[in-house]
Amino acid sequence: MFSLVKNENPILNPTLWIGNFEWREPVTTLTDLLTAFVCLYAFVQYKKYKGNKSTSFINYQYYFLFFSISMASAGCFGHGLQAYVGFDWKKIGWVMSSIGFLSIEFGSIKELEKYLKPNVIKLFKAAFIIQFVILVSLMVYYQNFKIPQLNSTLTFILFVLPIQAYAYYKKKRKEYLIIIGTIFFAVVPALVYNNQLSFGKWFNYHDISHVLMATFMFFMFKGTFKLSTTKR
């Protein structure tokens, strides 16, 4: 009933056959779903919360919702079910993550509403939207994972990190340091993925980077949730 077939790429998980059902990269699928579960857990905690909320609360909440959808889509359509759906289905995850990035950008800039002029806030928001439109358009027309990687880099290095750092400078709240530290931690899964650092075909660079990304999401949740649910 169960059988394994070697992948053409020796570092990728072997394909698992369950009867006539083909499940590609099973460990990679499960580690993607692990990250999706962490994001879903974060979203549920936001959804259940009934206390004091900042203006950024809803943006941070939906960051985790869209990333949960993105990572579940990546696991199922980008890896596990690729024999049935084709490459273009990977773009669902890419677009969902882009909406998530837009959400955390808007949430971050709201941290500075009392410290920046309204025109500056509007300029940032316009930049976020321009980034979103351009990169999502590129994702739709090109089959290249480097585009969502670029989107992630621009989101966190160009916008979220400096905004959160300036917010810490102005407010001196330790929650900003959690977010800042978590963003620096994101370099680790990126290095693992880009350098294809693997323990073997059953726990390769995809799998390692997904576990590290789940850790990233958990600490991002801890920072953003406390930041947006405690009085200023």
- CATH number of the structural domain spanning residue 62: 1.20.1070
Residue 194 domain-assigned (yes or no): yes
Three-state DSSP state, 71? helix
Task: Record the tokens describing residue 15, joined without a space.
Answer: 């394909």
CA–CA dist 134, 185 (Å, integer): 27
Q: What is the CA radius of gyration of the chain?
A: 19
User: Dihedrals φ, ψ of 119, to 5°?
Assistant: -65, -35
Residue 11 domain-assigned (yes or no): no
What's the confidence (pLDDT) of residue 84? 95
Residue 6 domain-assigned (yes or no): no
Residue 19 domain-assigned (yes or no): no
What's the confidence (pLDDT) of residue 10? 83
What's the confidence (pLDDT) of residue 9? 78
User: Residue 86 — left, alpha, or beta (φ > 0 → left; ψ -120 to 50 → alpha)?
Assistant: left
Q: Of 173, 51, 170, nearest to 113 (Cα)?
A: 170
What's the confidence (pLDDT) of residue 231? 62
Helix H or strand E segment including 15: strand 15-18
Residue 176 domain-assigned (yes or no): yes
- Domain hosting residue 75, numbered range: 25-229
What's the confidence (pLDDT) of residue 6? 65
Q: What is the pLDDT along the chain (232 residues), one digit of tens a residue?
A: 556 666 767 899 999 999 889 999 999 999 999 999 999 999 999 999 999 999 999 999 999 999 999 999 999 999 999 999 988 999 999 999 999 999 999 999 999 999 999 999 999 999 999 999 999 999 999 889 999 999 999 999 999 999 999 999 999 999 999 999 999 999 999 999 999 999 999 999 999 999 999 999 999 999 999 999 976 5
Angle at 125 between CA 114 and CA 70, to 5 degrees: 115
CA–CA dist 171, 53 (Å, integer): 17
Residue 218 domain-assigned (yes or no): yes
Q: Which amino acid is at 28?
A: T
Q: How many residues does the chain have?
A: 232
Residue 131 domain-assigned (yes or no): yes
Q: Which amino acid is at 222?
A: K
Helix H or strand E segment including 9: none
Contacts of 82 (CB under 8 A, 6+ apart): 24, 25, 89
What's the confidence (pLDDT) of residue 32? 98
Residue 172 domain-assigned (yes or no): yes
What's the confidence (pLDDT) of residue 1? 59
What's the confidence (pLDDT) of residue 86? 87
What's the domain count of the chain?
1
